[in-house]
Each structure stands twice: as C-alpha cells, then as structure tokens.
Amino acid sequence: MDAKVLIESFAEFARSKNVDRPTMIRILEDVFRAMIRKKYETDENFDVTINADKGDLEILRIREIVDDNSEDIWDFDKISLSDAQKIEPDFEVGEEVYEKIELEEFGRRAVMMARQTLIQRIKDLEKDLLFNQYEELVGEIISAEVYQILGREVLLIDGEGNELILPKSEQISKDRFRKGDSVRAIVHKVEMVNGNPKIILSRTSPIFLERLFENEVPEVFDGLITIRKIVREPGERAKVAVESYDDRIDPVGACVGMKGSRIHAIVRELQNENIDVINYTDNLELYVARALSPAKVSSIAADAEKKRLSVYLKPDQVSMAIGKGGFNIRLASRLVGYEIDVFRELSEMEEEDVDLEEFGDEIETWVIDELKKTGLDTAKSVLTLTKEDLLRRTELEEETIDEVFKILRQEFEQ
C-alpha cells in the first residue's frame, strides 16, 4: 500500500465520520511520526508534510554535514561528509542534507499497522465527540427510537444511529415500549465505560417534568413564570411549585391552560401522572396548606429546629391529606422541606379521647409511629376502624393489631 492509497482511504473514512480537515491532518502526522520514532528512535529532525486532498506525503530527514573524523558523527541529526556526498557529490561540511524518506522504507508491516492505527484513532475521536456532544445535552429532552428491549433496560438509537440507554430505574412504572416506538426523555448522565461513552436517559427525573413544562407553557420557557421546585412519584403524582414575578400573570392558571389544555399534554406524556401545580409562597403555613391540597387544613404547628410540622385537619380531610398510597403527604413533605405529621382535629365529643402517645409504656413506639403515619393519633380514631382496615392501611401484623385493640379497649372499659 503506497502513501497515496493510505492517505486517501483514511481521508474518506474520516470525512464519513465528520472529522474536520485540521484534525484529520494532525492524526495523520501523529501516526507517521510514530512510525519514524519506531524506526529512527526520534522524529526531532524530520519534517512531515501531508496534503490529504491529493493524498500526497513527504517525509524529509534533515541532518547537518560534519567531517568524517568529527566526534558528533553519531548524533541523530548529523551525517558524515562521505555519506552526504553519496547523496549529492558537491555537499560540504556545515551544510544540511534534506533526504526524502519513502513510505515503503518503513516496511509493509509498519504501513499496515499505521493504517489500523489511523482507523482506531478516528474511532476514538468519534467516541470523544459523541461524549462531548451528549455531555452538553445533559438535562435536555431528546427523542430516540426503541430498537431493543431488555430486562433491565431499553436500548434506543438517536437520529445518527448512536446507542442510548433507558434503564428500568429511569422508566415510569407504566411505561410500555415496543420496537420502533419514539420515546422522549432527558439526557440524565454521560459516562465513559472502558473507553466507550455510555449515554443514560431518564423519564423519572424532576428535570424531565420541568422541561415538559417549558415545552408546553410559553411563559415558563420565556422566564415569566419560574418553577421553584418539583417533587415526583413517577407515574403516580407530582407537585410543582410555581411563581410569577408579574402580578398580571396567574402562574397556576398559565401552567394548567384553558380547560387543562397545557397540563393534559404533560400528563399524557407521563402516563397519566397526577400533577398538582401550586402557587409558591414564603408563608410556610400557606405553602403547606397548598401542598396538602385537596385536603383542607385547619391549623399548623411548626417545630423549625426539628424541621417538623404538626398539621390538624377535620376527620373527613385526613385521608385526602395522606392520599392514595401516602403519595400526597410524602410529596408535600418533600416540597416544603419539613416532615409532616397529620392529626385529626377533635370535636367536643372527642375530647375524652386519649392520645396514642399516652400508651407508650404498653405499645411499642414504632407501632404508634406506624399508626400516626396514617393519621391515627388517638385511641378512639384507631378503635373506629376494623382489623381489616388497619391491615390495609398499615404495615402492622395481625397479632400486633389484636394486641393494640386489646390495650386501647381496656382504657375505655376502665
């Protein structure tokens, strides 16, 4: 393989990978200089000129002519007068010899290795370019096509045929994909694994929901409405706190849209995830009341040091505050940054009731905490339920519930 064929085949391959000309020339020169170093131990006195468009290569070895008896005669950049005159008879001491080195002089094996090295360098460069391209896209929405569904992840390809990964942990639980489906997700992170870029997508990240709002709500995209915080239980429920610095704009109304037109598009993308859009406020009590919507809060007591809130509601509002599967209260806690304990507001008739904390010497603390998680904070509130209700609403064993009922009933029998 001569220089022209080698360079032209490499240049064609490089262009197909969208490698720019200066980078192409730099890679060619690096590889040829590596060949020179392997043969001559150094490339310091060599000049390499490449014209990738024409496939031309010129390698010149530059040496200074010294007398045959000179002590410097063995230096890599020196040549004896007698050897120089074999190249050109009228050379004299002190002149420089520019000797052209043909590619064939390096040997067939070295040339073939150079070809493989060139191809590998382009592939490595392609990996770096892909890594940098997607690193700049982290946090942005992209669309890709499903081409393989595996147990722990879905493999997708982008418009340029690059492989992307959507792990099971980054999929919404209700997501169901088929080969050929177009999927929207954000670029979650980009890693180099064994020299190969690994591009991981996500549909569960709060940032994905934020980008969807930017796509569907022009006021959010333009910065007229700011998303202060997003918390999600992907596929189930999300709470989005929004704020507008323009009094003329209703941030919640703008995000929801006329008859829910804007929010519906987002809900469909997220497999019918319920989205509560909340007007942000610095007033903690008002913010908590909005976060627990649709439940109506009666009063709130805050312990700022412990970052804990005691929220009191009418009995018929407790289950709404907790929400199906406890999603509503968990998300509200994460949104406001406080642990929220829900308590039933007692009526006059219920004032004879006894707080569960009073039974701390008979009922283990973790059992009381489990009951309080579901809004049961007094003895009578527990006794109004059946064993089946408690089995369904708590993580307690049947024997534990029987013991709790026994202790609480004894209190009122006395």
Average pLDDT over residues 77-102: 88
Quick one: what percent of the chain has pLDDT higher than 70?
Answer: 97
Name the nearest CA neighbour of 371 among 385, 353, 361.
385
Name the nearest CA neighbour of 309 among 299, 323, 324.
299
Q: Which two tokens stand for residue 217?
A: 């709500």
Q: Output the pLDDT for position 351.
A: 53
4: Cα separation from own chain's centroid: 45
Quick one: what percent of the chain has pLDDT higher than 90?
Answer: 40
Confidence band, pLDDT 50/70/90 cuts, at residue 350: low
pLDDT of 291 strictly over 90: yes
pLDDT of 359 strictly over 80: yes
pLDDT of 8 strictly over 60: yes
What is this structure's pTM? 0.68
Average pLDDT over residues 110-134: 85
Summarised one tens digit per residue, pLDDT across range 207-218 is: 999 999 999 999
- Concatenating the DSSP letter of every residue in 372-388 gives HHTT--BHHHHHTS-HH
Q: Output the pLDDT for position 212.
A: 96
Asked: is 348-413 a CATH 1.10.150 domain? The reply is yes
Name the nearest CA neighbour of 234 among 309, 166, 285.
166
Average pLDDT over residues 268-294: 93
* Helix (H) or strand (E) segment spanning residue 234: none
* Helix (H) or strand (E) segment spanning residue 27: helix 21-40
Q: Cβ(203)–Cβ(185) under 8 Å?
A: yes
Q: Which two tokens stand for residue 79?
A: 């040549």
Q: Cβ(263)–Cβ(255) under 8 Å?
A: yes
Question: CATH code for 3-125?
Answer: 3.30.1480
Average pLDDT over residues 53-60: 82
Beta bridge partners of 185: 142
pLDDT of 297 strictly over 70: yes
The span from the CA of 255 to the CA of 262, in Å, is 6
CA dihedral 39, 45, 51, 54 (to 10 degrees): -50
Average pLDDT over residues 349-378: 81
Average pLDDT over residues 185-196: 92
Confidence band, pLDDT 50/70/90 cuts, at residue 330: very high
Confidence band, pLDDT 50/70/90 cuts, at residue 414: low
Average pLDDT over residues 230-244: 95
pLDDT of 352 strictly over 80: no
Question: CATH code for 209-280?
Answer: 3.30.300.20
Neighbours of 90 (CB within 10 A): 7
* Domain definitions of the chain by residue range: 3-125, 137-204, 209-280, 348-413
Asked: is 137-204 a CATH 3.40.50.2300 domain? The reply is no
Q: Output the pLDDT for position 1.
A: 54
Average pLDDT of the chain to the nearest whole number = 88
Total residue length of the chain: 414
